[in-house]
Amino acid sequence: MIRKSTLILAVAAAVLFIGMGCDSVVTLDKPTVTAAAITPGTTLRLQWTAVTDAESYQITTDDSVYTTTSESFDVTAPTKTIEVRAVNGSDESDPATIDCKVKETSSIVLYGISDPNADHPSGLAFTGEGVASPLSLSDANKPNIDYVCDDENISPVGLVNAGDYGWSGNAKLNTAMDAGSTDYDAFKQAATSGYSSQTTIASNGLYTLWVSNSQGWTVNDHFAKAKIVSIEDVGGVQKVTLKVGYQKIGGLRWLMN
């Protein structure tokens, strides 16, 4: 015979088991996030469509964690990576990740335009993926060049907007400025003013580049930082070695690497 107390315990355990089984895990889809800089380029606006069963969203940057119930969030401080998760209680989705780091090209060598060797690169051009390429000043290259290493019009040498030379097919409005620092790794964000289309450079200097085809800031602009590794006088020609970090997100001034 089963004792009454034993039966009651068995029933209670069964009820508890059933109740635990009803507390199911919520499966949340990863948010689909778009990221776009907003004027003047110091803020990145994140937007996504609502995730089914999400109660809130968690935004994680290098240094901070934020929570919002909206499907939009503005990140105002430079960061290398952003993650966005949908949240329901203790359940979280996989993160949507936005890579905000610069695309780095190292050991670029440019020669001043006084160089009699026409095959030596005196031009600097950026691809759509942010790769910095040294180019000679051949007619075929001139429409694609963004900056020129100029040791004739600037002493001893400078970076000049390629659009300043009046070349056919090149009406670019690129500018540069002294970053006010020599620490490439620590430099986080390009300034909003103070640029010039013709900028004198010095060895160990750090410069910010504003790559643009139009007046004023737009989301089609790009920003970069250029570290001058060395400047050598080679037979009267200035040879410049530099590395460049280019922000791939249009209009965004963050320059973290």
Model confidence over 72-95: pLDDT tens digits? 999 999 999 999 999 999 999 999
User: What one-letter code names the amino acid at 8?
Assistant: I
Nearest residue to 121 (alpha-carbon basis) of 147, 158, 155: 147
Domain boundary among 77, 100, 123: 100
> Do residue 117 and residue 199 come from a single domain?
yes
Q: Looking at the structure, do residues 49 and 136 belong to the same domain, yes or no?
A: no
Q: Indicate if 131 and 187 belong to the same structural domain.
A: yes
Number of domain units in the chain: 2
Tokens describing residue 179: 């970053």
Domain membership flag for residue 252: no
Cα end-to-end distance, the chain, whole Å? 75
Q: What whole-number distance in Å separates Cα of residue 147 and Cα of residue 122?
A: 9
Instruction: Phi first, then psi: give them for residue 109, nearest 5 degrees.
Output: -115, 125
Asked whether residue 76 falls in the same domain as residue 27, the answer is yes
Burial of 140: CB neighbours in 10 Å, binned 0-12, 13-18, 19+:
exposed
Q: Do residues 204 and 178 lie in contact, with contact meaning Cβ atoms separated by under 8 Å?
A: no
Specify whether 131 is located in the same domain as 217. Answer: yes
Determine, yes or no, domain membership for 137: yes
128 lies in a domain?
yes
Cis upstream peptide for 156 (omega within 30°)? yes
Task: Write out the chain's pLDDT in tens, 257 residues.
Answer: 444 444 344 434 444 444 444 456 789 999 999 999 999 999 999 999 999 999 999 999 999 999 999 999 999 999 999 999 999 999 999 999 999 999 999 999 999 999 999 999 999 999 888 999 999 999 999 999 999 999 999 999 999 999 999 999 999 999 999 999 999 999 999 999 999 999 999 999 999 999 999 999 999 999 999 999 999 999 999 999 999 999 999 999 999 99
Please report whether residue 256 resides in a domain: no
Judge if 89 and 111 occupy the same domain.
Answer: no
DSSP-derived letter for residue 162 is G
Inside any domain, residue 255: no
Residues 92 and 48 in one domain: yes
- CATH code of the domain containing 73: 2.60.40.10
Note whether 102 and 225 are within 8 A (CB): yes
Question: Which structural domain, as residue segments, surrounds residue 64?
Answer: 1-100
Q: Are residues 125 and 87 in the same domain?
A: no
On whether both 40 and 167 belong to a single domain, the answer is no
State how far the Cα of 15 lies from the Cα of 205, in Å rounded to an integer. Answer: 73
- Measured CA to CA, the distance from residue 98 to residue 64 in angstroms comes to 15
117 and 241 assigned to the same domain: yes
- 85, containing H or E segment: strand 81-88
Is 254 part of any domain? no
C-alpha 20/C-alpha 16 separation (Å) is 6
Q: How far is CA 125 from the centre of its chain?
A: 17
Structure tokens at 58: 């968690």
10 shares its domain with 123: no
Q: Does residue 18 sit in helix, strand or coil?
A: helix
94 and 112 assigned to the same domain: no
What are the start-end ranges of the H helices in the chain? 4-22
Last residue of a domain, one of 84, 100, 116: 100
Q: How far apart are CA 41 and CA 59, in angstroms?
A: 20
